[in-house]
C-alpha cells in the first residue's frame, strides 16, 4: 500500500517533443507537457470537452528512454508522483510549479 500514497496515472497526448537536458554532474532530465481530456454534459445538455495540461519530468535512464521513444502528439500513459516546488524568478517573484515525476511510461501509439 505504500506505493498508493502518491500515485498519478495520466493518459494523453504530448504537447511538445521531449526536452532532454544533461547536467554537469552527468545526471539527465527529460521534461515535456501532456494534455488530458475530460468530457461532460453541461446544463444545456451539450457535450463539452475540458483539457488539462500537466508538466512531466523524468530522470536518468527513464529520461533517455522517453527522449528516444516519445515525440509531440504521441499518445502515452505516464505513471509517477505529483510534486510541488517553488522558486524565485529574476524579478524576485515567487513562482509555484506542479509536476509529475514519472516512474514509468507506455507509448500507446497505434503502429
Residue 65: enclosing H or E segment and its boundaries? helix 60-69
Residue 27 sits in a domain whose CATH number is 2.40.50.140
Please report the pLDDT score of residue 110 as a whole number.
77
Interval 29-41: pLDDT, tens: 999 999 999 999 9
How many structural domains are present in the chain?
1
pTM of the model: 0.86
Interval 42-98: pLDDT, tens: 999 999 999 999 999 999 999 999 999 999 999 999 999 999 999 999 999 999 999
The range of the structural domain enclosing residue 61 comes to 2-107
Which residues lie closer than 8 Å to 100 by C-beta, 6 or more apart? 8, 10, 54, 55, 56, 57, 78, 80, 81, 82, 83
Amino acid at each position: 500500500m505504500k506505493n498508493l500514497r502518491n500515485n498519478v496515472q495520466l493518459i494523453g497526448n504530448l504537447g511538445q517533443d521531449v526536452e532532454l537536458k544533461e547536467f554537469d554532474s552527468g545526471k539527465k532530465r527529460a521534461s515535456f507537457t501532456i494534455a488530458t481530456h475530460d468530457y461532460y454534459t453541461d446544463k444545456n445538455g451539450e457535450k463539452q470537452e475540458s483539457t488539462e495540461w500537466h508538466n512531466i519530468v523524468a530522470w536518468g535512464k527513464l529520461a533517455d528512454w522517453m527522449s528516444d521513444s516519445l515525440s509531440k502528439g504521441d499518445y502515452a500513459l505516464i505513471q509517477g508522483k505529483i510534486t510541488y516546488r517553488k522558486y524565485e524568478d529574476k524579478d524576485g517573484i515567487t513562482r509555484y510549479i506542479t509536476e509529475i515525476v514519472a516512474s514509468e511510461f507506455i507509448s500507446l501509439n497505434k503502429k
